[in-house]
Amino acid sequence: MITIGLTGWSDHDSLLQSKKLTLADYAAHFPVVEVDTSFYAIPSPRTTANWAAQTPGDFRFVIKAFSAMTKHKEWSQYFDSENAMYTAYMDMIAPISETGKLQAILYQFPPYFNCTKENVTYLRYIASKMGDLPVAIEFRNNSWYSEQNTEKTLDLLRELGFIHTVVDEPQVGSGSVPIVLRETNSEMTLVRLHGRNQYGWMKASSPEWREVRTLYRYNEEEINEWTKYVEHLQKLSKEVVVIFNNNSGGDAADNAKHLQKALQVEFQGLAPMQMDLFSE
């Protein structure tokens, strides 16, 4: 099974049927969405319950871990304890999980989260906190995939029941990882396509990072390349979930539709398409 979606649902102009694309509108095109707002602040359970209510029964969410859960920030900036942070996050996840709409919780680690004993211990800690919930791990430091560490990294993710996140991103030294077409969970493999804009990728701390970081449009040859990669991964896991994150220039939706066509995938259980009364 192959599932394709985008990061967020409101910024994809090519899907617009009205002035602003709603989650219900988005769910008429794709069966899964990645939520990144949870990286910046943990939404309320009321908000996530509303998301679940707006989407069809087969719709799924990939929800990012809060930034202090991935070592981007310190939990003490936001909560009285680390346990309090995890409790708030689990309360937020509950309405999605209880309706069967949780595809995965995505832990996207920063480039400085390298392969050390301390960080391996933290991965084990995450497993203890998350229990049976589906957790996908995305590294941004290539030490996890060095010649001596790749198999150990994959074995660790497999041992902890974590979902491996295969990424396509600009190769800019230690702060990026290569394409590693491997699975660690027989149920699912996650693929995140960030584009290949090296200049934009290096502007992460710039005020204009949202405009340039993922400014990239995959061409025909690259889509064909990823068609073969996804077909390979499909042999390794029951489901391959592909998320296009090249949003800066509005290219994600078109590229996702392109890959869907190349893979000859039809999505079932989508929301009904909202029609514009004034369109021809």
pLDDT at position 241 is 97
pLDDT at position 117 is 95
pLDDT mean by block of 10 residues, the chain; 280 residues: 91 68 88 94 95 94 96 87 93 96 96 94 95 95 94 97 95 88 96 84 62 78 96 96 87 92 90 56
Calculate the alpha carbon distances from 95 to 49, 90, 262 in Å.
Answer: 5, 10, 34
Q: In the structure encoding, which two tokens stand for residue 268, read together?
A: 């079932």
8 Å CB contact between 65 and 107: yes
Concatenated DSSP letters of 59-124 = -EEEEEPPGGGTTSS-GGGT-SSHHHHHHHHHHHHHHHHHTT-EEEEEEE--TT--S-HHHHHHHH
pLDDT at position 212 is 66
If you compute the radius of gyration of the chain from its CA atoms, what whole number of angstroms results? 18
pLDDT at position 73 is 87
pTM for the full predicted model: 0.91
Q: In the structure encoding, which two tokens stand for residue 159, read together?
A: 């041992």
8 Å CB contact between 244 and 190: no
pLDDT at position 277 is 38
